[in-house]
Amino acid sequence: MADRWLQILLSIIHSRNFYGSFRYSAFVTYLCDRLKNHPSPDSRMTVRLKIKALTTIVLAWVVTAHVCASTDDPAAIPQESAATEISDSSHAAAAESANEEGGFNAGEMIMEHIMDSHEWHFFTLTRKDGTEWHASICLPVIIYTPGVGLNVFSFHKLHHPQVYKGFALDEENHIVRTDGKTFYDFSITKNVMQLFIAFTLMLILFISVARNYSKYGVKAPKGIQSAIEVIVLFVRDEIAKPMLGEHYKKYLPYLLTLFFFIWINNVMGLIPGSANVTGNIAVTMTLAVLTFILMMFSSRKSYWLHMVSPPGVPLGVKFILVPIEFISNLIVKPFALMIRLFANMLAGHLLVLSFIALIFIFAALSVLAGIGASIFSVAFATFIYLLELLVTALQAYIFTVLSALFIGETLAVGSDHGSEHH
């Protein structure tokens, strides 16, 4: 599916309609700039609607032009189908040969490192007799089956192809019941275990800092306390106060917890052998939902009135603008929080693992090719890894800033519009 979307994207880029759309987009950008700067009695909400409408027209024109061009050219469809079949057959042949020869499988290696599992695997050693020894920690499995009860056991019981208490592993290494009954899995997986570790580190860190303040008062901080104080003041003065105004004290504990939780898990995800917690969309979705809940509970009447009946907008335009505002505030904002953190942290891990995998792929061709590829792969992987150290703090900052901004909009939207009209 990913290859299919990539082929469609490349075909759009190489089509003449795509380059023609740039000229149309430049014209639209000019109009949008004039709309923003031109003095008119229309409210900013009407200007935003016009900009969104123009952008939608551009997108619809590009897609329609590409579809029509593909339909008018009957030779493009067979060529694309043939290219897809050749690509699929070549990938299948390569995968089949790799499986038959027992060679290196880059996709399996990458997915093993970024996916969640019931065991914490570190490395594998091959003995002289050809058998493998896996250095891993089997985590506890906690499963509740209605009508049967609670089952707690180590994942080691299912590590080998066997059935234990009616449970077994399928082809994708997922736990299933042999009798087909429905069950609920509350197991402590690798991601959950790392969440507990991060939670423990945060408790140790903040309790020690709190004890130092209670013991020495407001004297000059020392050690880890001085570093924590700088970050706390930064979040308070640069994020909470500008975004939330006089309400910053109410939401400062949540913002500090959010920042340190994301940052610590991002840094721990860079340790070899650890879990990529913030690269798991379930974790980022939970964080986004927490921010969304605070937005809803903090919202005022003026916030909802602004969405239901935007001020200064003609009645005919409201039928178009109101659904856009509801989708933007209730769906797009939490979705953007979820996807931004997930995609950025996952992409960094994929890049590093891909560069490392290139060494083994070229080494399978020849030793000399593996040595040559290792020089560039290690250099690029090291560069991406160092860049990820910056991204860990940057993504924690961005998520915290956007959360404070979205919460602040639910608190100050009424006063902002009131000041604009006056």
pLDDT for res 133: 76
Burial 322-337 (b: 16+ CB within 10 A, else e): eebbeeebeeebbeeb
Residue 364: which pLDDT band, with cuts at 50, 70 and 90?
confident
Residue 395: which pLDDT band, with cuts at 50, 70 and 90?
very high
pLDDT for res 160: 67
Q: Please answer whether residues 167 and 118 qualify as being in contact, where contact means their C-beta atoms are separated by less than 8 angstroms.
A: no
Least confident of 69-83, 161-175, 192-206: 69-83
- Helical (H) or strand (E) element with 273: none
Q: Please answer whether residues 311 and 231 qualify as being in contact, where contact means their C-beta atoms are separated by less than 8 angstroms.
A: no
Q: Please answer whether residues 80 and 7 qualify as being in contact, where contact means their C-beta atoms are separated by less than 8 angstroms.
A: yes
Residue 13: which pLDDT band, with cuts at 50, 70 and 90?
very low
Q: What is the pLDDT of residues 28-42, one digit of tens each?
A: 444 445 544 544 444
Length of the chain equals 422
DSSP state of 164: B
Short-list 345, 337, 342, 346, CA closest to 390: 345
135: helix, coil or strand? strand
Q: Please answer whether residues 145 and 151 qualify as being in contact, where contact means their C-beta atoms are separated by less than 8 angstroms.
A: yes
- Cα distances from 89 to residues 77, 78, 92, 140, in angstroms, run 18, 16, 5, 41
> In the predicted model, what is the mean pLDDT of residues 13-19?
42
pTM to 2 decimal places? 0.70
Average pLDDT of the chain to the nearest whole number: 75
Burial 162-178 (b: 16+ CB within 10 A, else e): eebeebebeeeeebebe
